[in-house]
Structure 1
Amino acid sequence: MPSLLLDLDTRDQLAAALDGEGWVVACLCAAWCGTCSSYRAGFDSLAARHPDKTFVWIDIEDQADVVGDLDVENFPTLLLQRGDRVAFFGTMLPDPLLADRLVQAQAALADEELARLAASSEERRGWQRDANLRTLLANAE
């Protein structure tokens, strides 16, 4: 199953996924980025290996009203979120196997550990404040 391409017609699907307690794995990229274009097939294959999670492809320019002032420093940038908690936000090498290990490691953590980690540093507290897809999506509507 390929990743969900975020657009006006699929925002409700992403909002529904974020309302639950399941995992959302988002790749923030840009259409003009050659690295992103070549990474897309690998990201889709990663989505197929994790059918219990929602994978979403977000073009930061096409979805600028959702992304807002989110600081995307390089591509690809991954965002992993479960419910209202951002577990990871950062630039990754365009390697689906590396992303797979990250997804597996985060998904294996207990809720208590996710909560502890979310508050464990200024950077991670900033993710909760600035990179929460649930909040970003709600503010774009």
Structure 2
Amino acid sequence: MIFGNRNLFNSTPPVVMNLIMINVVMLVITWVMASTFGIDLNQILGVYPPGSPNFRPYQIVTHMFMHGGLFHLFFNMFALWMFGRILEQVWGSRRFFIYYMVTGLGAVTIHLLVNYLHIHAIQTDAAA
């Protein structure tokens, strides 16, 4: 893909490019595992709330690489490419990777907290 005189893939810094590749590979592996072996990797690697029989501690990290389909992956990777390459060029690869991981862990923390509060409110209403 060429835009002007620059090849957009050559101008993408390494962490952003590797994250995009990992996410694409994970979606393909998810499809292959589902169609070939009947294994739903979203159920295994996607995050579940603590206390759920499906919760595993590794899901706190692995959920960042799971996507619900091609459009979900495309828009997430497009945003990563648009904003991540600029941040990585300014901050450097190490600092950007730390930022990516910290924001992913922060997102799962907020997600699990909101789910907990929602479930707790339902349980409180049901008990009343």
Same fold (TM > 0.5): no
Specify which structure has the higher proportion of strand: 1
Larger radius of gyration: 2
TM-score (norm 1): 0.28
